[in-house]
Amino acid sequence: MNLRSRCASTVALLAFLATVQPLDAGLPIAVDGQKLPTLADMVDRVIPGVVNIATTGHVNVPDHPLLNDPLFQRFFDVPANRGKRQKASKSLGSGVVVDAKAGYILTNQHVIDKADVINVTLRDGNTMQAKLIGVDKETDVAVIQVPSKGLKALPFGDSDALRVGDFVVAMGNPFGLGQTVTSGIVSALGRKGLGKGFEDFIQTDASINPGNSGGALVDLSGKLVGINTAILSPGGGKGNVGIGFAIPINMARQVMGQLIEHGQVRRGFFGAQAQNLTPELAKAFGITGNSGAVITRVVINSAAFQAGLRPGDVIIEAHGKPVRSASDLHNVVGLAKVGQSIPMKLIRDRKELELSVVMANPEAEKIKGEKIDPRLKGAIFGIDTEEGEKTQIKVVKVTPNSSAWEAGLRDDDRILSVNKQPVLDFPALAKAVRSDERQMLLNIERGEEKFFVLVR
């Protein structure tokens, strides 16, 4: 290349570089005449419907064990019935306006748990006190209500239509900073194993941090698809590592409707337990694939029994949704109302069948203790299937100072056996009690403890 050619090339290069913007000049507003995508317009529409929630309450402070020792109380003249010590507690979280006219706000149960006062702050800074409508601990859903003035509700989306890879936006009040917006994608669907009663979580990498609980997870059109509820942080930390969970809005709406109507969730009684269909079980039953829930036990005269379900049936679909595991079946029947009919598809003896289960009233599945034995008067027993693992006899309520109370029974006790005989339903309970008229040896589970109580 001669000198003239080199000069021409240098001039051309300098002319090109003169047109290149510096790297720190920021992104251009358009490329080839097309505006860059932005979520700003959607966020402007949606964020007024996301509120900040601040609660105040009181929690019990545990006493030193010595203060509950009768000898210590007598020696140091410590009153036995001195009452529990309490301290003030505060909590910060988020909520979503779902009905502007009625003033209803969806949030998490753990956000307003044990709250004496619930204050809601809107986007414009207006703060008002909220009324508690109802909570459901099993799904971690709560509904509160505020005056309707100045509210803007979010439109509902369809969480069943979500797919892994869909873009979503999380809105809430992380760390008490105020309304904050983060974006990401749906990382997984149907997540379970977080220790909740009913689990079908949306997993997202949109940053969810403490304070985001109860906030909105929306799609790119601004429709509400989930309620942010939990994070997974290794080592017990509180920061986000890209694994957050939200309650699907279709599940939250089911619960919300009952909370608004009844103040609580009135779940129907199913009356059967199930386990996952493993490859080994599928082979034994002659079933192709290993997706389903195997019925292992059916309570006599329960809703499942009346519908025709029997041990060994493999449920593959319930209420129009595929049943991949026992947890899937638990979610469907556990969220169903009393009297609701749930169509099911199942495989029995290598043939596909269809039937419908009409959920029973759980009140019909209770019995007074005196109907079993006078020594159990004052206790009300029920069938416990809430955890979905196994059916047990549960003490629903015990009247203080009654015969059952004096025998040592307390609310929420689970009766594992009577006179060394397992009891899984009322007939078995009555039979075990009658097996020894002289005494009643109860094996009780209370919390994480198991012990025996002898009733004479």
Active site members: 110, 140, 213
CA distances from 174 to 129, 249, 378, 390 (A): 21, 20, 47, 38
Hey, how many other C-beta atoms are within 10 angstroms of the C-beta on 124? 7
Instruction: Give which of 374, 367, 456, 361 is closest to 415, Cα–Cα.
Output: 367
Strand locations in 198-329 (E): 201-204, 216-219, 224-231, 244-248, 272-276, 293-298, 314-318, 321-322
- Count the neighbouring beta carbons within 10 Å of the beta carbon of residue 93: 27
CB 98 within 8 A of CB 156: yes
Pairing of strands 85-99, 131-136: unpaired
- With a CB cutoff of 8 Å and minimum separation 6, the contacts of 40 are none
> In the structure encoding, which two tokens stand for residue 253, read together?
């709406």
Please give the Cα distance from 228 to 231 (Å, whole number).
Answer: 9
Cα radius of gyration (the chain): 29
